[in-house]
Chains A and B, each alone.
Chain A
Amino acid sequence: MLFFFRRNRTVQHVLRCACLTLLLAMTLQISFSAGLNAQGILERRVSLSMVNKPLKEVLQALNQKTSVDFVYSSKVDVHKVVSVQAQNKELRQVLKDVLTPTRLDYEVVGTSIVIKESPVPTPVPVLKKSAAAAPSLPVVVPVRGKVVDDKGEPLPGVTVLVKGTQTATVTDANGAFSIEAPANASLMVSYLGFLTQEVKVGSQQELTVKLVPDPVALGEVVVTGYTVQEKRVVTGAIGQIKSREIANMPIQSFDQAMQGRLAGVQVQTASGVPGGKVSINIRGMGSITAGNEPLYIVDGVQINSEDDAGGTVGTNPLSFLNPNDIESIEVLKDAAAASIYGAQAANGVVLITTKSGDEGPTKISVNMYRGFASPLPLIKMMDSQQYLDVRMEAYRNRYPDRTEGAIRTEVLQESMLPINMTDAQLAALPTYDWQKAAFRTGDIYDVELAASGGNKTTTYRLSASYNSSEGNLIGIDFSRATAKLRVQHKPTRKLTISTNINLSNIVQNGTQQSAGSTGFMSAPQFSSPMILPFIPITLEDGSPNNPLGGFPGELRYNPIYTAEVNFIQGKTRALYSNIILSYDITKDLNFKSTWGLDYRNINAEQYLDPRTHEAYARRGYLSIRNRESSTVSGTQALTYSKRFAGGHRLTALAGAEYRDYSRQISFSAGEGFSTYQFRHMSGAATILSSTGSWTGYRQLGFFSQANYDYKKKYMASAILRYDGSSKFGANNRFGLFPAFSAGWDIAAEDFLKDVRWVDQFKLRVGYGETGNSAIDHFASRGLFTGSSSYGGQPAIQPSSLENPDLRWERNASTNLGVDFSLFRKRLSGSVDAFHRRSKDLLLEQPVPWYGGYESMYRNVGEVVNRGLEVELNGEVLRLGGFQWNSGFNITFMDNEVTKLYEGLNGESLPGNPSVRIGHPLRTNFVAQYAGVNSATGRPMWWSGNGTLTYNPGAQGTNSYTPYGRGSQLAKYFGGFTNTLSFKGIEVSALFQYDMGREYLNEQNRTWYRNGQGARNGLERIYLMRWTEPGQVTPVPRAINGGAETDGATHILSSSRFLEDASYIRFKQLAASYAIPARFLSKFKISSARVYAQAVNLYTWTAWTGYDPEFLIDDENFTSNQGVVPQTRSYTLGVEFGF
């Protein structure tokens, strides 16, 4: 037993022996390069006079005077009485004076001093009591030595323990150690990843211990699906994120944290709504209609990633899990890894492993952070004078015959301003910043508690958290409470039972349409910049400006007031649970049974207050939507794992999996509330609608996998999965998904064994097939639905065309990769080249409407994604206690549509020219803006090569579109992270980039209107507008209505609005400081850390809207119009361990 002793108070902490080793290792690590510092400790001068005091008190006094920590084991009798007389003496001398008479000695370890028994008569008892009674004491000798690895390189941080005692030390930066041991004793030399060696001390006093890597010891392991595999022998393309990297980011769901951290994994946050939609795209978009989101598995159970609040508030199905409860995230990127999940794995698989408890005494940790979320920079709109000026100009240009007076009257009338206003009065009109009133600084706080521990048979981890995050827009917030319990119990040697229960309750408030894109007048995120700028936000008495007749102009509502009084809320209750039974049938054969439940209830309510203009006429509106979904799954797997003589190792797996998903939605809406105080359906005079629906599917799969390696030099893996789903047509229920991969670590070959700077150089090759089945659950069925009525009588109508041939989309992917680790792991990384062919893509093919149906789905399309991924991790600098680590990843992507269905005119999908053979998905084909006729100020478009038109007409597949054919898909993306650490301080910065994306700035289509209607617009456009003949500018003259006579409107969706949405973002800056333990003991705290985080600090982009990061998912997010922009947040936190 050891005691820990700190300044001011003699609080003693009981730590286990293992903890000491760990602690020593940690302190030593810090002091490796801080040798000077360690020396410096002993040179500190001290003055002290104490006579006949217990040693403990003397050490305490020395601690106070020198700030040096003293550490001693329980065998040191600190109650011995000592005396000290020192006048500006070096600590070295003081210690010698004090300790020598007591037969004690000391050693400097890092910044601490370890007090230990003097070598001469040292007994090595296990217990303090027996120490005194020890009959004869063996002779103790000082032993010095050096520990090296199999290549002769020194190993720092190796634990050296005198066998049978608790005397231990740790090797320094040069692998050297010194320890006192009885001459007949043995030293146990151990280091993670190496075989522990026992060395007899004997007569030798200079030892060289060569540690051999442990072939059995799982170095770093990765979760590969139904099993884990050592990273060294993985042959598929798998990315991994550890909890450390994402800890304490002020985010609501873990998907956000993955941004910029893994090659090949593109994460896009759809909006700045906390807990809102995030999209993850692994190795490109491979589907046109059936979704591009990966499969999510949490602790072996597939979760529902399709749940939403029906557009009421922006929800994220992954926010049920507190990101700080996650231990690691693994991403199966290629089919060679993912095809174990068969028909659902086409878009890759994300595997989440949550934290679990370790054997040992209970550890309690408390973590809190607090901060704020502020909006990204706002956009400058016109002021009152500019707006009125351009509005009148627009009238003047439209009606050149009208008199100035008539135009002025018209504009003032429409603006509800007195028509007799003088120029001076107009010039004095104030401008109110509605945008600023809508965006705000939101409050963020987070509190977490966790307890973990256990004994040999049972371990547990219990955690609870509460997160509250206000958005950067009024009315938007997110709060979540979670409780999670993970228990593992081993009743017998062979049986392990474990369970994992996660409960969460999420409450989100929103504004109208904050779940996606919007053009709603009552949505502040859309309307606030465009409200006529002379309309006051509040009245003179401070009450909201809310005339029931509405505001003048096109934006008639007060969205600020509306957001305040409306009640738009989504409540998610999620229960996730699994039960796992694992039984070792023999030493090599294991049976594992996993049962999982993922239950969600999302209750979304929308109450539009009758006091607002929006709901005044209907006297309030209330809708209630309740969505309940559950997934029950069961997986049975047999795993055979055996190591054969000669270095062969085989792991074989076979199993079956069944999943049953069902979802029920009920919805009702009513209007006509007596007053605004009535907020429940009982108060509605009229029930407008009350509906419900049910859907579900089942799937059954059989899987098998075999992983083989020979001395970690040659590896091979094969997967076969046979999957069926109720979603597919009767003719195509089941499908087979195979995969093969192989690897060769050249570094393990004899000819490279002596090349010291190569640790690993593993070539990988893999091919596999996976399916995508994320389609409507009854897409193959011809159905009559009963969702209609006539005259109050029930009605049924055919809703879909029967399609028995429908089947999953199939992805065939090939991967070539290399993993390397060089210069004693100072530089490691991987490079992967992949080719992913997504075929049999489901396309909605129109059928002649005279058959009664619009379209049917057929497996006809094909898309190819090609890419190159590079991931590099390096230790750039290690100097003294300073360490600089860098990580960089980049992914180059090329996407191409290679096949659509036959008979297409112009080779693009009807009604969707952006899906075209030979081009990436989401390529922009829009009318070609040719600028402004400088003679007249009219906008022009190209209608053909060299021919201009004022009216380009409707865009079709064969329209003239040679320019601006960029794609929304990034050409390359990735992240760059740097971590600097010095002693307890760590600073890390993450830059994330998404390059080569081109988007149509739909928001600008409303912001560029420049007085064409009664709404405010951009000042930039106002200042650049055409005003006189000969002026060359891209902005046409202002014109009432937007369209010149016989011309198309200037805000026509054209290349004028295409913008480069590439960006590089200073995504995250995190700084933390581990408070040295000596400051903590008096609070009974074993560890403490303070940290600060800043997210979305700065963005470099050419995009002209709020923010270039948004998403088009063709569901809630159809463009960037009215999307709540991203948030910049700053937080400060503390973490305590007890």
Chain B
Amino acid sequence: MTTMRNRIFPYILSASLIFVSGACNDLLDVEPTHAIDSRTALTSMEAVEAATNGVYARLRAVQQYGRDLVALPELLSDNAVHSGRGTTLQAEASNSPGAHLETWETGYAAINEANLILEALGPLSAPQSFKNSVEGQVRFLRALFYHNLVKVYAFDPTANDPTRNRGGVPLVRKGVIAVGDIDYAKGRDAVSEVYRFIYEDLTAAYQLLEGTDNARAPHFATRGAVAAFFSRVALYNGDYNKVISEANLALKSGVGQLQPAANVVASWRTDVHPESMFEVAVKPTENIGTNESLRATFTTRVNAEGKVAVSYGHAVVSDALLSDYEAGDVRKELIWKGLGNNSSKNEMTKFFSRGGVKDLDNIPVIRVAELYLNRAEAYVRLDQARWRWRT
């Protein structure tokens, strides 16, 4: 018995070893369940839709509308000064070298996602209406991210210094999945080229979003959002006739309602600003948190009822700006004295935990009011030109 077992044993063993080694590669296959492979990720409508939401979600980044695009310009300019408490944003307030808007990383991450989605739409089996909607939204978002890049990293077309102009930003049109996909030789494209590309995207987006219900506004792209944003882009580009035409399209879109002066404060106390043409939505689980929230950046109060200072309130209204308001200006009612260390400082209370949860605020990207301003500015610029021509 023993001898037989001894004779058989090595065979069983070697057989099992062969079996094991034959199956080696399978044994080492581990598929993540928290993620999906980039090569096959965007092959269903659900995934494409989720990826589109992913591009929207990039707008929430601190370096984008989460904080910087809203708060930093106030500090970099003299609308706001630093309260002196804490070190956050001190460098921006004092215009230290290198302290500025940084839309590069998050912007290009979003642009790559947009490119991957656009490439995935072709082979995707889905109704054309779905494809149009996704393409329209994604191209709108891509234009928005590109504009926030070219604004920060290049000269505006209307404020160009040709001796220092080093071009716009690199226009990346192809999605990147693997290391080998990156074009290392890519340089900056001309500012005009970047604007041409943004125009192209916005023109296409407006057409593609034809069937989109206004009910998706203001947190998702609609024709109204596209036209409104287009009027801003055209204004930066000095393309004033376009500003007027796009502003008119936007005003007719039915998205966003201009509020009377009496409602100015109330509009900044509601969850969704009634004037918003496009707004970044923030839900409780997407809350950016105390340290970097717009609420904490601008005020020490948690909300209108807050009695105790809960944050530093770094960016407070400068005395110069405050004195520019005329007496009785309703907008002045949004400026409150702070609490604690800021009790002698003037704080802007537009971001006031309006979402009902501490630090939770939807962030307007473009409002109806801006359309009127854009259009008015365009009229002035065109008139000035006309006036100069007449004389």
Contact = CB atoms under 8 A, between A and B. Distances in A.
A848 B177 contact: no
A594 to B, nearest CB: 15
Contacts of A782: 37-39, 177-178
A191 B116 CA distance: 77
Given A585-B6, A781-B37, A801-B178, A851 B183 contact: yes
Interface in A671-694: 671-672, 686-690, 692-694
Contact of A638 (B13, B29, B50, B286): B13
Contact of A789 (B16, B41, B186, B283): B283
B56 interface: yes
B53 A733 contact: no
A37 interface: no
A432 to B, nearest CB: 22
B6 A795 contact: no
B302 interface: yes
A985 interface: no
B54 A790 contact: yes
B32 A694 contact: yes
B51 A796 contact: yes
Interface string B4-42: 001001100100110011001101111011111111011
A695 B178 contact: no
A617 B32 contact: no
Interface centre among A686, A699, A734 (most CB of B within 10 A): A686
Interface stretch (B107-115, B226-234, B242-250, B318-326): B107-115
B340 interface: yes
B116 A656 contact: no
A852 B285 contact: no
A886 B340 CA distance: 64
Which bucket holds chain B's interface residue count?
35 or more
Interface string A744-786: 0000000000000000000000000000000001100111111
B309 interface: yes
B51 A801 contact: no
A852 B111 contact: yes
B34 A700 contact: no
B35 A784 contact: yes
B56 A849 contact: no
B210 interface: no
Contact of A802 (B51, B115, B177, B283): B177
A202 B190 CA distance: 112
B28 A725 contact: yes
B9 A591 contact: yes
A823 interface: no
Contacts of A802: 38-39, 177-179
A496 B198 CA distance: 75
B308 A794 contact: no
B45 to A, nearest CB: 13
B220 A791 contact: yes
B358 interface: yes
A697 B10 CA distance: 31
A1005 to B, nearest CB: 12
B47 interface: yes
B176 A783 contact: no
A693 B175 CA distance: 26
Contact of A687 (B184, B285, B308): B285
Contact of A784 (B36, B184, B311): B36
B260 interface: no
B113 A848 contact: no
A550 B35 contact: no
Nearest to B185: A848
Contacts of B24: 700, 724, 734
Interface in B248-304: 281, 283-287, 290, 302
B57 interface: yes
A784 B55 CA distance: 12
B98 interface: yes
A803 B17 CA distance: 31
A799 B50 CA distance: 14
Interface residues of A, number: 72
B112 A778 contact: no
A801 B109 CA distance: 12
A847 B179 contact: yes
B109 A852 contact: yes
Which secondary structure dominates where chain A touches chain B? strand
A694 B33 contact: yes
A1040 to B, nearest CB: 10
A853 interface: yes
A693 B35 CA distance: 9
B147 to A, nearest CB: 15
A856 interface: yes
B57 A797 contact: yes
B369 interface: no
A786 B284 contact: no
A548 B51 contact: no
A618 interface: yes
Contacts of A698: 27-30
B172 interface: yes
A851 B284 CA distance: 31
B179 A801 contact: yes
A799 B357 contact: no
B87 to A, nearest CB: 9
Contact of A617 (B33, B37, B176, B302): B302
A784 B38 contact: yes
B287 A688 contact: yes
A585 B35 contact: no
B170 interface: yes
Interface in A16-51: none
B380 interface: no
A702 interface: yes
Contacts of A784: 35-38, 41-42, 47, 51
Given A591-B9, A790-B281, A783 B358 contact: no
Interface in B26-82: 27-30, 32-39, 41-42, 47, 49-51, 53-54, 56-58, 60
Nearest to B10: A585
B181 interface: yes
A517 to B, nearest CB: 17
Contacts of A656: 17, 20-21
B104 A849 contact: yes
Contacts of B116: 798
A424 B272 CA distance: 58
Contact of B35 (A778, A791, A805): A778
Contacts of B28: 698-700, 724-726, 733
B34 A796 contact: no
B178 A799 contact: no
Interface string A791-822: 11111111101111100000000000000000
Contacts of A638: 13
Interface in A244-300: none
B284 A688 contact: yes
Interface of A: 414, 548-550, 585-586, 591, 616-618, 636, 638, 656, 658, 671-672, 686-690, 692-700, 702, 724-726, 733-734, 777-778, 781-799, 801-805, 847-854, 856, 954
Closest 8 CB pairs of A and B: A852-B112, A617-B310, A791-B281, A795-B53, A782-B38, A802-B178, A797-B54, A783-B35
Given A788-B286, A790-B286, A794-B53, 13 more contacts: A414-B341, A693-B34, A700-B28, A777-B30, A778-B32, A781-B37, A782-B38, A784-B42, A786-B36, A795-B50, A795-B57, A852-B113, A853-B109
Interface of B: 6, 9-10, 13, 16-17, 20-21, 24-25, 27-30, 32-39, 41-42, 47, 49-51, 53-54, 56-58, 60, 98, 104-105, 108-109, 111-113, 115-116, 169-170, 172, 175-179, 181-184, 186, 219-220, 281, 283-287, 290, 302, 306, 308-311, 340-341, 357-358
17 contacts: A585-B10, A617-B302, A618-B310, A638-B13, A686-B357, A688-B285, A688-B357, A694-B34, A699-B28, A784-B41, A786-B35, A787-B34, A788-B53, A798-B113, A848-B186, A850-B172, A851-B183
